[in-house]
Amino acid sequence: MIFIPFISPSPLLQWQIDYDKTLAKRASLWSSAAYGDPSDVNSWNFVDTCAALNPTYVQSFSNSFTKSFGYTAVDTKFKQVILAFSGSKDLPNFITDLKSGLRYDYTCELPNLGDGQSVVTYSYVHHGFCDYYKTLVEAGLMAEVMKLADDNPEFSVLVTGHSLGGAVAVLAAVDLVKRFKFDTNRIQLYTFGCPRVGDGNFLGETKTYYYPPAAALLL
């Protein structure tokens, strides 16, 4: 399992484990592609370096009101299921960034998948980041990730995003373990320019799923 919040020199690099420069570069391209037009993403119609990723399957998901956007892909070369989120690129995204300001006091609720409880909660996080993620969950993004992961049991799941997309990627990575019961060793998370996602309570919960130094870098 890999947590890389920023691909840049930092004193915090001493805490990073199993950092893979090649994988980080590819993650940056997957993140970059999330800014593309949905039709170009679905057909992988890129003429720049993103074209070289050459996924065998791509499906995008979006919400027209919040302008949230994410996609899944399959990378057979690196044996990965890709989950990538777009960052801020228009007014609704910037409203998402500003929603609740810099407060991290929101309980993010998502439908439970078992054990009798009606919802699974993540406390406390940024309201806007939660809403962005929830619209994509409702659009079917995570259900598609589950299907692709089930169809490719030997593949890891790479979760990535830039800026706002990085924050949503963090929520998704924790959600994959807590709600979808993924083994943490199967998850790889590379974020770029990721803002703080939640408060100390959320950090503490993250530590229960991932090793503490990695969790500390996320927030």
Q: Using one digit for the tens of pLDDT, what is the confidence trace for 16-34?
A: 456 788 999 999 999 999 9
Q: Mean pLDDT, to the nearest integer, of 95-115? A: 74
End-to-end alpha carbon distance in the chain:
17
According to the model, what pLDDT value does residue 190 have? Answer: 92
pLDDT digits (tens, 9 = 90+) for 146-176: 999 999 999 999 999 999 999 999 999 999 9
- Stretch among 6-15, 32-41, 87-96 having the lowest mean pLDDT: 6-15
Residue 46 has pLDDT above 90, yes or no: yes
Most confidently modeled of 7-11, 87-91, 95-99, 197-201? Answer: 197-201
Local confidence band at 208 (pLDDT 50, 70, 90 cut-offs): confident
Q: Is the pLDDT confidence value at 141 over 90?
A: yes
In this prediction, residue 65 carries a pLDDT of: 85
Q: What is the pLDDT of residue 11?
A: 34
Q: Average model confidence (pLDDT) for the chain?
A: 83
- Quickly state the pLDDT bin for 48 (edges 50, 70, 90): confident
pLDDT digits (tens, 9 = 90+) for 126-139: 999 999 999 999 99
Q: What is the pLDDT of residue 64?
A: 87
Specify the pLDDT at position 83: 98
